[in-house]
Structure 1
């Protein structure tokens, strides 16, 4: 026994199945969300999409169903692909009223010819919508279809629009938008040219890739406090300090500094130096770091004192050959080197490491 299907139900079923097949609806959902978010965040215009439909059309019938009184906006890419966004008069009037008077009126707009000034006030909303939709889609081909479009002109009528759309096939995305909680309704029609999957992947390669967790962590700002010396000063001495005064950094060593955490407690030790022409600090230098595998890896150059004595660890001096004068001379040199680690010299080393001019030495009193 067969049942008769009504004509209205048949039209609904055919409309729902038209042009679908296995095609993804991700682009339709992205555009629907982008319209509502762009209206709210761009112009504080409350908008919700209450109807959405996607249909594939050939170039000969791409403008079928349109009227000359609508707003025809043309967008193009550097490659020459042309797309169009069609807005009805009700939606254009609502966007202009929101920008000029701060609210949308329920009265229908008076019939008039749309101008380039009207287009200039609506274009920012459309550009924001296209950019948001591109960021919402995950498929490479869908992202490439929305990438690179810029506003070029306004088509004055339906015939001019038909001549500008020269691609073989287009996807028509039609949305019914409710504004300000039902005060006004309007329609948005987006005509996007189709591209192949291979072309979409090639275009997507030019887009900025999403950063992985490791790449994003590389741009996170981190603050390290290198403590060269800790000292205790009376409050009166600290209050009397002025420009040019020097502090005695007793026991300060640039090869054994403290790395302080955010709570000012010592987290580890390090060595001041430079890497790639920039100031750097090597942390946990007690552990032997692995050798760099890449040839372009830059090595760490530790900061060395200009007057550091030559190490004589591999030279063995015989006690029989060393005379008393040599021993006293070596002892005097060691004492002199220790004495040279004074406040002025440490200040000069720190200034050099920080890229500051060396302090002027004071004449001896």
Structure 2
């Protein structure tokens, strides 16, 4: 492309050859076309034409659907805070590199590859000029404050990182389809920045009064608590514990379904309960007090070594069998064992 061709294109873009004054208002689409074309030409000498500009208001998830990982994603910050993203496709990146390295465009499309830090560095001057020119180029009524004090930041590796780093708010997304002017090479540049909040949205809402006592109590009551349901507890010697076998029955003296205790982690009894089931699963019901277990009176020791007096309601029977006249327990057991053994042999 000769110098005369460059001058002719620039003259048509600037309207230098027209005698009729264009009184049409400066729209966002036209302003973006001029800003991108001027930035590319001033930064790297790239002559391009912006065919179409789409202006959309999108939520974060919708905005992320307009970009993909094949694009070079560069963060946009304001006051050292990441607020938006600018995305360049492979063809536009290649055109900027070709103009800086060779001074002309290759008459064929560039092969797709992943963006690199070198690509971001080479595209940095054009992006810096574009972002700095937006505040003065865009219509003040519609874009007031939208692109003020924005700068290109670091390279972002993926669309997923963009979604994690940006705020979940409404974004104004400008998408420009660009004609590079040679071999039908087309490219795309996308700029997404948060929408400017209205004064009503910025209005300070006075905080509601907080009852700290109630709030603190509610926070404490929401804390998790673990309780253990204790059915029975007894002592056992170490030797007995070592002799335990599978299938062995261990008597729980005085234990009933109504003797369950709910214990805190420190062992403190929180409540008394009764063992049962709900819906086929074990459950406990809170009780006012532990049900007193029934005990065998004959097995209770005599207090102060005094034998209990016989009941007055039971008549005394002469020649009744007393304890001293009963056969020894060992004799009864031995006879029973002998009979059972004989029965087994006969069978």
**Greater C-alpha Rg:** 2
- Under a length normalisation based on structure 1, what TM-score does the superposition of the two structures give? 0.45
TM-score, normalisation: structure 2? 0.47
